[in-house]
Amino acid sequence: MKENKKMKTIKEIRVDVNKCNGCLSCEMSCSAAHAMPPYTSVNPARSRITVVIDESTDAYIPIRAGDYAEAECAGRNKYTIDGKEYESCLLCPASCPSRSRFTEPDSGLPLKCDMCESLDIGEPMCVQVCHPGALTYHEYQVEAEDSITPERGEKEIGLEYLVKRYGLEEVVKSVATMAKKSA
Amino acid sequence: MRYAETGFNLEIDLTRGNIERVATDPELTKLYLGGQGTADKILWDRVGPEVEPFSEENLLIFSSGLLNGTFVPGANRTIVNTFSPQTNLHAHSMMGGYFGVEMKHAGYDKIILSGKAPKLVYIYINNDNVEIRDAAHLAGMGTTEVQDFLKKDLGDDKLQIAAIGLAGENRVYTASIEHSHCSASRGVGPVMGDKRVKAIVVRGTKDLQMAEPEKLFHICKDLRKDLADNPGAGDWMAVDEDDGFHHDNFSWGNARVRQKNYWSEELQQRWTDIKYDHMDRQTGCYNCPKKCHNVISWPGRKRFSYKCFGKDTYHMASFQELDFSYEILGVAQEYGLDSYSTPQVIAFALELLEEGILTLDDFPGMPEDIRGRFFYILDMIVNRRGIGDKLANGVYWAARQIGNGAEKFDHNTTKKFEQVPIKLGKVNPMFFLMIATGEKMNITQIEGSFPQDPLPTIEERQAFVDAWEAVPDEKFKKYFMEWERRNEMPSGAVCDIVDWNEAMHYIDDAIGLCAFVSSFRGQFGGKTQYNIHNIPDLIRMAAGLDLSKEDLWKVFRRNRNLVRAINVRRGMRRADERPPEDHWAVRDEEFEQSLLSAYYEFKGWTQDGIPTPETLEELALGDVREDFEKRGIYSAAE
């Protein structure tokens, strides 16, 4: 039976926080690679990876953008790792209403890391430019779960966000108006 | 469309609280590129020679280098310019890190501070939102303490902050401006304090455009990898624990004692252990894979960092070991003090005490031990308490204010500024010219492209020049092939070499490249990442300026002559261009002066060191010539 099970590829970026030198080449290159068209501008504020730097505790933590959260957390945690204290908010990959991290600076739309799949460049760009070796890329196969959420691209994520914020009717109205204008 | 730069400066008049976003003239970018180049144009136009450094009319300019924020790795320098209270001349200063890049993303190539705030303030810049805010609650805070506080208080870990400590607030002449693990020294800290600005906070989230971005991205991706792998770039002292070079050759105490056989294997092992037992990490600056800053956590101290010779200055001034530098750096950096000049001031004070020019009455309650004394005097200087009020003005001024024969113990300053403490035997003609004519007040800001020492065999020299890509002209290979003894080089070659060394620094200061990947580093190994050949292409792709190698060289000459003009207008002349009298044991005044004359001629300067009318016209600095003529600067010198 087992050989009939569906397999899926897990793509993973491993982070060695001790190797990070804080150069932010990952942020810079991510923002350039995802510019439209690719590489036409640079703006780390649009990056889908952010390096949280706290020089007072010597914390250098690259974090990749995950899904957006609709609301703030009900409660927060504080972690102490090797004697250094981290707030869970600092380590959280979500684009959320309580802060500006992982939101487009112009539109406020959420940003999400796509492992550079949309770019056809092989390993994710952030890994390719991380010469200190804090970021490394790994791929492996695991058995697929039965229920897999359908793939959502950038457009879908953005639209979902707008629908949740303004309601489906409002978004449809706006799209219809825009379609009329450009027709 | 402006590429690589934003096309706007942020002008803040602290006296009136006026804030303006001012469009800049793209023609000035063509002439001066950016960074210090365009800053000096502003200083020339707007700050007359009569303006006192501590006055509302003095400007404090933070410039982001032209290539900062573009894909070019290692372009991240913030250049800070003003007029220094210590030298009363142009102050050149810069820092690495992230600040200048954040400025660009906020929409500004420069932040120009004028006037003086009525009370201590900090400046908050978030894109178009710029505010002057009360900083009463930040008074006296340490430099890393205040950066940490503001990031948490304002709830954004992405803020980039440049701040002064208590030393800057109290207008100590050796005060620095600190940012991240970087600092800007040589005269800018006290001016920021005089303007009553505790900190500048910047956050920027705007796009930056480049002329040929896609091509540049891929070239820079390869360049970044080369840079990571290139042992000829970055601070080798971050990884090479053999520091016999400084300890055996540089002078200890008040630049007095050379300990030729100080370094040993046992010492190296012990110090290596001290370093790695306390080092948290090594960090780089924005878009640079190098790891030049050593971040140290020392018991009872705020975490601090250092690079290069900054590790040695305190323990060499006090005849102690590395652990003492570690013990005091965490305190000195919180105060915001330059680690090059400050230890010399303290050693100078202790020498005056030993000589009886100062007495124990000048140091009430001072501890007996040398370490305690250094901490005690550091504290007096920072608070300008008692004799510290004079010492806070640097060795030159303190010597004159103390009097009673103290002047003759001021033996290591040039243009009123503390020099690197090296006392050698025979005059080195290259270093003579660089120390004499440099206007950045520190040899590290002019030396750098041509090797410091010859190679012993012809075969080694040949192998070196064969791989030597950085040379602007084949003649430098010939000079190197024929070079036998360190202190012997034909005068014509000396002029060429010093000019090349200086050129690369002036280019870096305009475009924001770090000297460790460019202008400073070729002297050790030759294989620097950037040179006169590859920089023009990067400028074209980033900024859209089509410059040949020759054009770029001309920009260097223009920017160099503008600094000279600014200082000439403030009274600097040939008589000021003297390295410390004891810099070398054996001097030859006639030879030195003839070399200086030859160099002035080579540079297109009069025999008093003033750019000639022809030089100024050739460099499109006709307004400088007119100003000189109007002021009678040429006729007075005749």
Both B504 and B447 in a single domain?
yes
Beta carbons of B303 and A23 less than 8 Å apart? no
Beta carbons of B71 and A42 less than 8 Å apart? yes
Asked if residue B368 is part of any domain, the answer here is yes
Residue A51 structural domain? 2-146
- CATH code, domain with B265: 1.10.569.10
B132 CB-side CA count, 13 A: 23
Who contacts B389 (Cβ-Cβ below 8 Å, separation ≥6)? none
Asked if residue B211 is part of any domain, the answer here is no
Q: What is the pLDDT of residue A89?
A: 85
Nearest to B282 among A21, A38, A105 (CB): A21
Beta carbons of A55 and B303 less than 8 Å apart? yes
Beta carbons of B208 and A43 less than 8 Å apart? yes
> What is the tens place of the pLDDT at every residue in B86-101?
999 999 999 999 999 9
Both B616 and B485 in a single domain?
yes
Q: Residue B464 — φ and ψ, nearest 5°?
A: -65, -50
Taking residue B543's Cβ as centre, other Cβ atoms within 10 Å add up to 23
Of B107, B119, B106, B104, the residue nearest B65 (C-alpha):
B104
Give the whole-number percent of chain B exceeding pLDDT 90. Answer: 98
Q: Which of B383, B413, B443 is the last residue of a domain?
A: B413
Residue B637 in this model has a pLDDT that exceeds 90 = no
Both A28 and A101 in a single domain?
yes
Q: How far apart are the CA of B125 and the nearest CA of chain A, in angstroms?
A: 15
Q: Which residues of A touch B (CB under 8 A)?
A: 18, 20-25, 28-29, 32, 35, 38-46, 50, 52-56, 58, 60, 90, 99-100, 105, 128-129, 131-132
Region for residue A82 given its phi and psi (left: phi exceeds 0; alpha: psi -120 to 50; beta: otherwise): left
Q: Cα separation of B225 and B322, whole Å?
A: 33
Q: Cα separation of B37 and B11, whole Å?
A: 17
Both A123 and A61 in a single domain?
yes
Both B611 and B463 in a single domain?
yes
Highest mean pLDDT among A126-130, A179-183, B155-159: A126-130
Chain A CB contacts of B224 below 8 Å: 25, 129, 131
Q: What is the pLDDT of residue A145?
A: 72
Asked if residue B3 is part of any domain, the answer here is no
Tokens 């890393």 appear where? B144
> What is the tens place of the pLDDT at every residue in B322-345?
999 999 999 999 999 999 999 999
Interface test with B, best of A26, A30, A43, A54 (most B CBs within 10 A): A43
Both A171 and A82 in a single domain?
no
Both B178 and B294 in a single domain?
no
Cβ contact B71:A32 at 8 Å: yes
Q: Cα separation of B506 and B555, whole Å?
A: 9
Average pLDDT, chain B: 97
Q: What is the pLDDT of residue A87?
A: 84
Both B184 and B258 in a single domain?
no
Q: What is the mean pLDDT of residues B453-475?
A: 97
Q: What is the pLDDT of residue A164?
A: 85
Both A124 and A183 in a single domain?
no
Both B445 and B490 in a single domain?
yes
Both A131 and A83 in a single domain?
yes
Beta carbons of B71 and A28 less than 8 Å apart? yes
Beta carbons of B105 and A44 less than 8 Å apart? yes
Domain count, chain A: 2
Q: If DSSP codes are grouped into helix, strand and coil, which group holds residue A37?
A: coil
Both A130 and A183 in a single domain?
no
Q: How far apart are the CA of A11 and the nearest CA of chain B, in angstroms?
A: 23
Q: Cα separation of A23 and B52, whole Å?
A: 39
Q: Cα separation of B333 and B336, whole Å?
A: 5
- CATH code, domain with B187: 3.60.9.10
Q: What is the pLDDT of residue A160?
A: 86
Q: What is the pLDDT of residue A157?
A: 82
Both B297 and B199 in a single domain?
no
Both B349 and B382 in a single domain?
yes
Asked if residue B233 is part of any domain, the answer here is no
Chain A CB contacts of B218 below 8 Å: 39
Both A132 and A177 in a single domain?
no
Nearest to B286 among A20, A24, A90 (CB): A24
Q: For residue B196, which amino acid is it?
A: R
Both A56 and A77 in a single domain?
yes
Residue B449 structural domain? 424-637
Residue B191 in this model has a pLDDT that exceeds 70 = yes
Residue B122 in this model has a pLDDT that exceeds 90 = yes
> What is the tens place of the pLDDT at every residue in B211-260?
999 999 999 999 999 999 999 999 989 989 999 999 999 999 999 999 99
Residue B173 in this model has a pLDDT that exceeds 70 = yes
Average pLDDT, chain A: 89
Chain A CB contacts of B213 below 8 Å: 32, 39-42
Both A155 and A137 in a single domain?
no
**More confidently predicted of A170 and B343:** B343
Cis previous bond, B49, omega within 30: no
Cβ contact B334:B165 at 8 Å: yes
- The reply to whether ipTM tops 0.85 is yes
Reported as a pLDDT band with limits 50, 70 and 90, residue A149 is: low
Asked if residue B59 is part of any domain, the answer here is yes
Beta carbons of A42 and B295 less than 8 Å apart? no
Helix (H) or strand (E) holding B376: helix B370-382
Domain count, chain B: 3
Residue B105 in this model has a pLDDT that exceeds 90 = yes
Nearest to B228 among A29, A42, A131 (CB): A131
Chain A CB contacts of B297 below 8 Å: 58
Beta carbons of A45 and B105 less than 8 Å apart? yes
> What is the tens place of the pLDDT at every residue in A62-88?
999 998 888 888 888 898 888 888 888
Q: For residue A88, which amino acid is it?
A: S
Residue B494 in this model has a pLDDT that exceeds 70 = yes
Taking residue B244's Cβ as centre, other Cβ atoms within 10 Å add up to 14
Both A108 and A39 in a single domain?
yes
> What is the tens place of the pLDDT at every residue in B255-297?
999 999 999 999 999 999 999 999 999 999 999 999 999 999 9
Q: How far apart are the CA of B102 and the nearest CA of chain A, in angstroms?
A: 10
- For A105, name the nearest residue in chain B, comparing CA atoms only: B205
Structure tokens, B273: 């252990």
Interface test with B, best of A19, A25, A40 (most B CBs within 10 A): A25
Q: Which of B159, B177, B203 is the last residue of a domain?
A: B203
Tokens 């869970």 appear where? A88
Q: Which of B203, B220, B249 is the last residue of a domain?
A: B203
Beta carbons of B213 and A41 less than 8 Å apart? yes
Q: How far apart are the CA of A22 and the nearest CA of chain B, in angstroms?
A: 6
Q: What is the pLDDT of residue A4?
A: 67
Q: What is the pLDDT of residue B292?
A: 96
Residue A148 in this model has a pLDDT that exceeds 60 = no
Asked if residue B216 is part of any domain, the answer here is no
User: Quick one: angle between helices B491-511 and B36-46, nearest 10?
Assistant: 90
Q: What is the pLDDT of residue A97?
A: 85
Residue B638 in this model has a pLDDT that exceeds 70 = no
Q: For residue B420, which amino acid is it?
A: V
Interface test with A, best of B221, B235, B278, B516 (most A CBs within 10 A): B221
Both B337 and B486 in a single domain?
no
Both B405 and B431 in a single domain?
no
> What is the tens place of the pLDDT at every residue in B50-92?
999 999 999 999 999 999 999 999 999 999 999 999 999 999 9
Both B404 and B433 in a single domain?
no
Q: What is the pLDDT of residue B146?
A: 98
Both B35 and B119 in a single domain?
yes
Both A74 and A136 in a single domain?
yes
Of B148, B139, B236, B108, the residue nearest B528 (C-alpha):
B236
Chain B CB contacts of A99 below 8 Å: 155
